[in-house]
Structure 1
């Protein structure tokens, strides 16, 4: 052990380290610098960026010894000693540049180093300076804007619905005070590591585990035999549940088979290759390579079909037969990794006969229900205390780290923590479903749609996860937000020996849109029609039945979205035409695509409950159980509640999420929280307001806070009589469940109360010699019903566009090959172009103040719009994404030969 001395945030610091210990470990473990975040331990994500003698470095790949005698600064230190940082963090809040917040310390530290040297940087300099830090939430544009505007002034904010309000939790994120899963565990917690299968499909048996534990000094080894309840966790009843630990047979590479627990130093140094397990790999046709992402899963494999989805309206076959033009296309998509910057992390402890879990999740109440079955405990014996979540996008809905540490804490009666490595996270957690889809669509010579057929096979991997949800949701959405009289859509979710596929921003709809929108381009081309005008002509509208027979009166917003793009569309076409007329290998193109998405569960109950109270001294407390994973639920739901109650937003105190004190606001998925939990918050606010008015005998009035809670009405101020009490003097609990109806055997019914609508336009440049694609600009028009907070709406648009760009051009997870963030590529700050947001407000009667969901919708049209633009520029029709240079070149050659 060597003593290393250096200056940390202006103060002398010393740490005892051995060998090449990471500076990030020393800072977090020994010196309490939890503002230094860990995302990869490989120098890929930049979340751990600190300054050494003023220069930014990744602390995770910097040996602590290199800090000897030098000056180290973290975000916390910059806040206390750097005048730039105060203004920069205000700019980050003002522009909404921090969403989940896990990458924010790395971004701010890197930006501070730049601004010290260049107080008025150009955008290119900002991109270069921040290029080593990855963000999965923001789409980077708000970050760039904030750095460029760091010397700007705050504008007055109006906290009411419709106001551009900064996040209520924003200060914690930009100051480095936000607590994530690996920040919360006590220092004396034992550490757990999971033993995972190195094979796609294998039988296994353990050796002498007791002897191994004794020889290595391990406190506890967990296997399937140690689970007191059910060794299974599932999302949808009746489908194949995933075991906590495989029992004799592992069905995918990365599946958990055991866990070891001990003190931190021992577990960190443990050589898992010595763990006593013997493998017998099985030769199996349905490995990832053989299945080729569902490519040969058609025919003769009915035993691997997990479930099917189906929607039929009219007679698609007859309509296609009478159509003047018919187009058909098949396309494939691969596994897509969520790539949140925060790996799974948390801890558990045993407290008075209860297990308490603290860490990141999108669904605390649903996690508790799963743990009840696994642990064999009643609901009252399990408490979930979520931390902030460093990105989720669907994968953190599922159980992952929770049962491991819960079982260990129960067994050892002491706190146990876990932090997944990046390889653990990527190999074991759910992905976007790979898909193979075929679409046939027809049109009459006047451009009207005449028949539509969709068939899709979705690889759900070894276990069900959200596969049934994808299979049921896709047929409803597969035709896009268009008027279809004659329609049929079929889906299958199939099992393979792959990592499970699950929920990921859109639940299969983005894949279906890629196939459908390409065929609509084919139809427009065959008819000689403008692609956007073709979509406008066929867009769904009020009074026209959807593919499930549902009719909306006044809430369909796809036409206004398309109309919002028209000026930019015609300008973009003209620019591309003029540029391409000059000749050369670079070609410009413009593409357009549409999307729609039903908010919440498909034809299933989907309630949220919100609790609120007023204390005897007039404090207003909102028990908000909806997980904020960066999208802004804490702020938006509080805005809605404050609006309904009639008080300023800053007067609302948030409590939760915490399963002991906040009611079930449902899972954060399917763009449901603003719509469903927002409605519950509105009802709770109205209930409290009604009680305040009753107590003051007022029909209406303005709530005030002068020397106690008051209501002013008709020129008279009434003090609200609140009785002293230990709890709340007034309390409201209210719920909302969207009105839906089951689908019949033909998929007809009311699957969702509300849909959101979107149209996007992409401008690209294609190098026809190299096959490279540069996205020059995205125009994104989104019908959000009512924009509760336009600042957060723009942030969601930017983040979704960035993920859609990755889907289109670079992202493809290959099990066993891309389990890190340097082989698996996601968009960087240099990849995301300027994004113009067009916020369209077609209010919905079911939404809180007319609001609809947004998070899932954004991603849907981005990839098809980019692919449409590539084709417009080069003639290349991409049938498999991502559109990597080799695939683009092959498609260009095929177009020339055709």
Structure 2
């Protein structure tokens, strides 16, 4: 699982300070996490603390006829029970883009597991038992569960009378958002095609399955406000939604990031934040809420399931003529980030290919299924699965190698997307395909090995693994390829920025930099990178990363592969501002005649340190002794603009990332079992600020894509009820399922980005899924147009007679 760094960036790397940019420095939280000593938000404790619990709807769509909390309130140990009618402020709804989600259900419930009431008690089991005593009378309503039931004449309206900025350009109130993209003339181009391939594809609902369910602690303050310690992805977006519902100004709601066990988009929406604060303010006591895994499946959004139809045409020499597609995403009961997911799905639906004539439509529905929103890949995952299947089918129709066909149509720098936006940084699509294909293939029949006991079969290397269901009979190998394109950063005119505060002072005789941002560290390694940036830009060794909270300006969300780019950019700029202050002090004191200062000055101006680093640090300490130098700066990337709601044209994205995979699988066609033997990846990251962390991100994203390919799906029945809200029935890859993942990292600098970097965390999640499916198709000859693949999809019926 080693990473191989290739093609170094041409941009300056700044000073050569140890532990700086380009080194694989160790994570400060790494040892604590692997030894189980790291403090997650669920580990928090406060004297005289109460426990909160949420009563959830057993129905997907029902009128709330009545709620009786009297029996729950009479239970010993219960301090408070709240329903919608007890909310203290006029604002009773929240949402990332559209404020359509009630804090507690009012009038009706719209999805299975929707919060109806909350309880605070002196023990978690007391709160749970009290919630069970709340009597809610429901009258079930017809369920909207797909496009047909959502848009049919007379269909129940999920949000009747809603009035928001999306209503004017959607054809039905049960459609959250719709984005067409039209460029060129797809119908005319079709006439030039020698081969036309159409296909319908389906993507199941995937869960983020992060480590550590939702949890937080709300502490009422003497000033009438509240301090919230929470595991989240976006402190300031939470604050923006929480404060109005509590009836408090934002400065009375103070938020501090607590230990986060991963996120992948699932912590971008609110879960229990408002509930904990409401109970704390009502009782006057600290209130802690910790979801179990069952509650967590209902408490956060999931990846949008999708139904997709594509049509592609190509000439006999393997050039794409046109593309048509329609992508229908199920957004569930509330909007969450569905409008932005639609924008991504539509604008990236052509993939990393040059195709001038396109006709695209993407939309998201309101249904009574679980709410869906952000998840790693954010709309591009669903499209990539479908368009990569199409590429394989076209290659087969034309008798071309699937990699060669992709390379003939691969975009490069200067290519124009269907939205009319030019790709103005390196786009090495053909090159990463070449590299991943050139990697050595793993040996055949790896299960044939002599063990100490004389056996010749290692069942761990077989489909079915340790369940010992096969010994190699009927096992066939397949190889498949895929490549994807993912945008980096928030898009479509969103004011995407980050803030960093950097302070430099002498502590214990040594210069120490302090970096303070509101960036949520959710496992991506930002705390490591920020320290590396400070060392590189300031020439110091000691860097302290202060806890993320709302006492500093917003850093935006830890999502969209944006934090290293945007918050890293803010830290870099703040360090540069502090560096200028140091230079002014140093020049005033030493001029250019002191040898140690001359070396330090060279370092701070971006040159290479050629003498003893201790001498440099000593001179820095002499300059700033007794001083506190500080800069607090916002940083913005170049602006984007919304896509036109009729044509889809617009400069909608900031940057693009590209990854390619080759999957090697072995399939037992009798039992329908799959073993992914290897998932090789080649990816351009612009500049690997921390190479080991970059490879880890690529391998993690690859594994998540593998999960969607062969095992992960939230099963929702026709009554819109979730049938598998636990890790007993919702399967994710374990170490036994995770294959070898060799990684080839390219570093082709993007001149628009700090250090030339390119967001890296999401792209491998796109291409790993279709690569696995391509390999399974290669092994079995089956069409397989749905993920995840189940065993019943893979068993090959013997020919009749």
Which TM-score tier does this pair reach, normalised by the shorter chain? Answer: 0.7 to 0.9
* 2:785 alignment partner, one of 856, 876, 879: 879
Greater mean deviation of Cα atoms: 495-504 or 551-560 = 551-560
User: What is the Cα deviation at residue 630 of structure 1?
Assistant: 0.6
- CA change 1:485–1:323 in 2 (3 A) is same
| Aligned: 1:778 with 2:667 | no
* 1:467 alignment partner, one of 338, 347, 351: 338
| Aligned: 1:190 with 2:50 | yes
* 2:560 alignment partner, one of 659, 662, 670: 670
User: What is the Cα deviation at residue 225 of structure 1?
Assistant: 1.4
Q: Contact between 2:65 and 2:136, CA under 8 Å: does it hold in 1?
A: yes
* 1:174 alignment partner, one of 24, 34, 39: 34
| Aligned: 1:501 with 2:372 | yes
User: What is the Cα deviation at residue 863 of structure 1?
Assistant: 0.9
| Aligned: 1:286 with 2:186 | no
- CA change 1:208–1:166 in 2 (3 A) is same
* Alignment match, 2:476: 587
* Alignment match, 1:870: 776
Q: Contact between 1:392 and 1:629, CA under 8 Å: does it hold in 2?
A: yes
- CA change 1:387–1:782 in 2 (3 A) is same
User: What is the Cα deviation at residue 265 of structure 1?
Assistant: 5.8
* Alignment match, 1:657: 548
Q: How does 1:435-474 map to 2 (within 5 A)?
A: 435-474=306-345
| Aligned: 1:199 with 2:59 | yes
Q: Distance in 2 between matches of 1:507 and 1:643?
A: 33
The structure with higher relative contact order (CA 8 Å, sep 6+) is 2
* Alignment match, 2:534: 641
* 2:92 alignment partner, one of 228, 231, 235: 231
- CA change 1:707–1:162 in 2 (3 A) is closer
* Alignment match, 1:841: 747
* 1:722 alignment partner, one of 624, 629, 636: 624
* 1:415 alignment partner, one of 266, 281, 286: 286
Give deviations 1:15-35, integer Å, cap 9, x for gaps: xxxxxxxxxxxxxxxxxxxxx
* 1:161 alignment partner, one of 21, 28, 44: 21
Q: Distance in 2 between matches of 1:838 and 1:317?
A: 40
Stretches of structure 1 that go unaligned for 5 or more consecutive residues are 1-140, 143-155
User: What is the Cα deviation at residue 566 of structure 1?
Assistant: 2.6
Greater mean deviation of Cα atoms: 372-381 or 541-550 = 541-550
| Aligned: 1:357 with 2:258 | no
Q: Distance in 1 between matches of 2:428 and 2:196?
A: 27
SS in 1 for 2:624: coil
User: What is the Cα deviation at residue 269 of structure 1?
Assistant: 6.2
Q: Contact between 1:607 and 1:738, CA under 8 Å: does it hold in 2?
A: no
- CA change 1:658–1:687 in 2 (3 A) is same
SS in 1 for 2:227: strand
* Alignment match, 1:789: 690
* Alignment match, 1:696: 586
Q: How does 1:712-751 map to 2 (within 5 A)?
A: 717=619, 720-722=622-624, 724=626, 728-744=628-644, 745-751=646-652
* Alignment match, 2:295: 424
Give deviations 1:730-763, integer Å, cap 9, x for gaps: 4343422343233334222222221111111100
Q: TM-score, normalised by structure 1?
A: 0.76
* Alignment match, 2:453: none
Q: Contact between 1:738 and 1:752, CA under 8 Å: does it hold in 2?
A: no
* 2:199 alignment partner, one of 329, 339, 343: 329
After superposition, the CA RMSD in angstroms is: 2.7
Q: Distance in 1 between matches of 2:445 and 2:417?
A: 36
Q: Distance in 1 between matches of 2:691 and 2:612?
A: 34
* Alignment match, 1:213: 73
* 2:504 alignment partner, one of 614, 619, 642: 614
Q: Contact between 1:365 and 1:666, CA under 8 Å: does it hold in 2?
A: yes
| Aligned: 1:803 with 2:704 | yes
Q: Distance in 1 between matches of 2:730 and 2:445?
A: 34
- CA change 1:761–1:299 in 2 (3 A) is farther
* Alignment match, 1:127: none
Q: How does 1:96-175 map to 2 (within 5 A)?
A: 158-175=18-35
Q: Distance in 2 between matches of 1:483 and 1:321?
A: 18
* Alignment match, 1:564: 435
* 1:303 alignment partner, one of 157, 161, 173: 173
- CA change 1:718–1:500 in 2 (3 A) is closer
Give deviations 1:526-562, integer Å, cap 9, x for gaps: 1110001111111111122122222234421222211
* 1:253 alignment partner, one of 86, 102, 112: 112
- CA change 1:630–1:719 in 2 (3 A) is closer
SS in 2 for 1:669: coil
Q: Contact between 1:518 and 1:868, CA under 8 Å: does it hold in 2?
A: yes
* 2:731 alignment partner, one of 804, 808, 825: 825
* Alignment match, 1:512: 383
User: What is the Cα deviation at residue 387 of structure 1?
Assistant: 0.6
Q: Contact between 1:709 and 1:719, CA under 8 Å: does it hold in 2?
A: no
Q: Distance in 1 between matches of 2:329 and 2:304?
A: 6
Q: Contact between 1:867 and 1:877, CA under 8 Å: does it hold in 2?
A: no
Q: Distance in 2 between matches of 1:394 and 1:685?
A: 29
User: What is the Cα deviation at residue 836 of structure 1?
Assistant: 0.5
Q: Distance in 2 between matches of 1:268 and 1:554?
A: 55
Q: Distance in 2 between matches of 1:707 and 1:326?
A: 67
Q: TM-score, normalised by structure 2?
A: 0.85
* Alignment match, 1:524: 395
Q: Contact between 1:665 and 1:677, CA under 8 Å: does it hold in 2?
A: yes
* Alignment match, 2:458: none
Q: Distance in 2 between matches of 1:514 and 1:315?
A: 25
Q: Distance in 1 between matches of 2:304 and 2:364?
A: 9
Give deviations 1:80-129, integer Å, cap 9, x for gaps: xxxxxxxxxxxxxxxxxxxxxxxxxxxxxxxxxxxxxxxxxxxxxxxxxx
Q: Contact between 1:244 and 1:403, CA under 8 Å: does it hold in 2?
A: yes
Aligned residues: 718
SS in 2 for 1:680: helix
Q: Contact between 2:501 and 2:630, CA under 8 Å: does it hold in 1?
A: no
Give deviations 1:141-200, integer Å, cap 9, x for gaps: 69xxxxxxxxxxxxx995121111111322332343322111112142101110000001
Q: Distance in 1 between matches of 2:298 and 2:619?
A: 62
